[in-house]
Amino acid sequence: MSKPEKGSSLYRLRHSAAHVLAQAIMRLFRDVKLAIGPVTEYGFFYDLTTEAPITESDLPRIEEEMRNIIAQKYSISGRRVAKAEALEIYKNNQFKTDIINRIEDEEVSIYSQGEFFDLCHGNHTDTTGAVKFFKLMGVSGSYWKGAKENVQLQRISGVCFETESQLKEHLEFLELAKKNDHRVLGKDLNLFFFSEHSPGMVFFKPKGTIVFNLLVDLVRKIQTKFGFVEIKSPLVLKEDMWHTSGHYENYKENMFFSNAGDEKFCIRPMNCPCAVLTFKNDFYSYNNLPLRMAEFGLVHRYELSGALHGLSRVRSFTQDDAHTFCTEDQIESEVIRDMELAKEIYSYFKFKSVKYLISTKPEKSIGDDASWDLATNALKNALEKLGLPFEVCEGEGAFYGPKIELQIKDFIGRWWTCATVQIDFFLPQRFELEYVDADQSRKAPIMIHRAILGSIERFFSIILEDYQGWLPFWLAPVQFSILTISEKQKDFATSLCSQMQELGLRPEVDASSETISSKIRKSVGQKIPFALVIGAKEVENNVVTIRLPDGKQIQNVGLERLEALRSIRASSELISLFS
């Protein structure tokens, strides 16, 4: 979804809705100064100031007044007026005055409906009666022209659609997104929490830690197959080093400084200098390249507490980072390798689609044009050879090299950048890295930074929302709940649990005295893929009944068959195995 095109019927509808909103507010509040009221992806908003602030509790009566205005079916019409006249009309409104002064024409247009008029470029429905299916969504703060140093405004937002079913569908979708907010799921499923003692730093509870470790294991297993080696390096390095690396100069607002004794340190905000120091510790010839050095690197970056958001915006996180040191000739094949690595890792998830973006040389950059061309072409060639279509973001690369970003789309349709492959001409020079080439000359290697999941914490939040909490079987912290019907099955359940644990499965016994239906409800509430229901019959026949979340059952599964579950990835595989 994106904003409707100017002039389209949906655009006209939402633009009128914004005017109806402004009209209602002017009727209900004192000293209203309108700023701007544009159309958005799902509706509209109006930024304005009033004498007394508008709160969420005002929204119902604003909506009611809007309905009155709509019922009146005011005709909406525009007229052209000279700038001088417009400036006179808006002499008490600094925002409109500013807008008028920036218009190059001699005349501006003003649109009216009933007693209401607004400085406006047009594109409206004929009457206010056209606005039917809308809802106000909230009040938030904004700034004039979006700049913090300017006057603060209030933004009243709404959604608006052409049909009732579209509106209903959208509201249901929002409800779903809210329920599947990873912060809500994290609490409900006992995965993680935050503490005032360490804002923006995650406390993973046992179940969350299982998922975190499984994500690390997955990347470790696959990247090893792709020829990466792993290092483990310090998090705290002397302040001097961060001057050498350029981080102090360019990134200090986001760094955690540290001191102990008389010494000054920084906690690392990025892992790259440690990979560089590890490279520098050994001697390399061209024969040793490419050297693919991975690290599950914990970084700390200071964010204002207002900007923190669950696992997606934190102050410390682990990157599945890697730095490949290679020759210029090897860039293309290494990028192909990284893309194939990403493909294999992403195959464990069910993302709807993946988008590839290449960012090229920005205005301010280091390195000569020939190097940039070579590296940028290597990125393009790699994607072309793999048959992956890409968009080019001209001039949007970092100053030290071009990059590929992989964006994945979640179930709400949001795009997230997870994997990045970044060429770097800069750090190897800054740290004077070198290898000995075939002709015995000393050369600086090229460095390729890459991450596939990106921030493991953020990736966790994305998949949690994407799966609506129903993590795939291989990643579910609890894969089976073993539920006893009565006290008598407790021993059988406990022994079954141990047997399954020995197979490397993750079961959990609920042998409490609650009813089986309550136990099932809990198991489904915890989004556990399968419940194994154990009654007298199961014990007698030494079998289990597998209950799926939708209520379907697979009966008489012999215990010896459970071993087959070790290698399945998705719940559907179990179903086809045993049905």
Among 19, 170, 300, 449, binds a second copy (CB under 8 A): 300
Indicate if 522 belongs to the active site. Answer: no
Q: Which of 12, 403, 450, 547 is catalytic?
A: 403
Q: Which of 204, 216, 215, 191 is nearest to 475 (CA)?
A: 215
Number of residues this chain uses to bind a second copy (CB under 8 A):
53
Q: How far is CA 470 from the centre of its chain?
A: 18
d(CA 518, CA 512): 10
| DSSP code at position 360 | -
Indicate if 15 belongs to the active site. Answer: no
Q: Fill in the per-residue mask, 27 to 66: x = in contact with a second copy (CB under 8 A), - = not in contact.
A: ----------------------------------------
243 binds a second copy (CB under 8 A): no
Q: What tokens were used for 452?
A: 């596939």
Kindly state the smallest distance separating residue 429's Cβ from a second copy, in Å: 18
Among 302, 348, 411, 578, binds a second copy (CB under 8 A): 302
Q: Fill in the per-residue mask, 425 to 444: x = in contact with a second copy (CB under 8 A), - = not in contact.
A: --------------------
499 binds a second copy (CB under 8 A): no
Kindly state the smallest distance separating residue 309's Cβ from a second copy, in Å: 17
Indicate if 321 belongs to the active site. Answer: yes
Q: Which of 15, 19, 170, 449 is catalytic?
A: 449
Q: Which of 47, 118, 321, 338 is catalytic?
A: 321
Indicate if 243 belongs to the active site. Answer: no
Give the alpha-carbon dihedral of 112, 117, 119, 123, to 10 degrees: -30
Give yes or no for a contact between 523 and 534, defined as CB atoms under 8 angstroms apart. Answer: no
CB atoms within 10 A of CB 495: 11
Among 137, 174, 277, 398, binds a second copy (CB under 8 A): 277
Q: Which of 223, 319, 330, 422 is catalytic?
A: 319
231 binds a second copy (CB under 8 A): yes
Sequential DSSP letters for 140-164: EEEEGGG-TTS-EEEEEEEEEESSH
Kindly state the smallest distance separating residue 253's Cβ from a second copy, in Å: 8
Give yes or no for a contact between 419 and 450, defined as CB atoms under 8 angstroms apart. Answer: yes
Kindly state the smallest distance separating residue 191's Cβ from a second copy, in Å: 11
Nearer to a second copy, 82 or 304 (CB): 304
d(CA 467, CA 520): 20
CB atoms within 10 A of CB 244: 15
Give the alpha-carbon dihedral of 341, 343, 349, 352, to 10 degrees: 150
Query: HSE on the CB side for 546, CA within 13 Å?
Result: 23
Strand, helix or coil at 40?
Answer: coil
Which helix (H) or strand (E) is 274 found in, with range? helix 272-280
Kindly state the smallest distance separating residue 494's Cβ from a second copy, in Å: 12
The residue ranges that bind a second copy (CB under 8 A) are 190, 193, 195-198, 201-206, 208-210, 212-213, 224-225, 229-238, 240-241, 255-261, 265, 267, 274, 277-278, 281-282, 293, 298, 300, 302, 304, 315-316, 501
Active site residues: 272, 301, 319, 321, 323, 403, 449
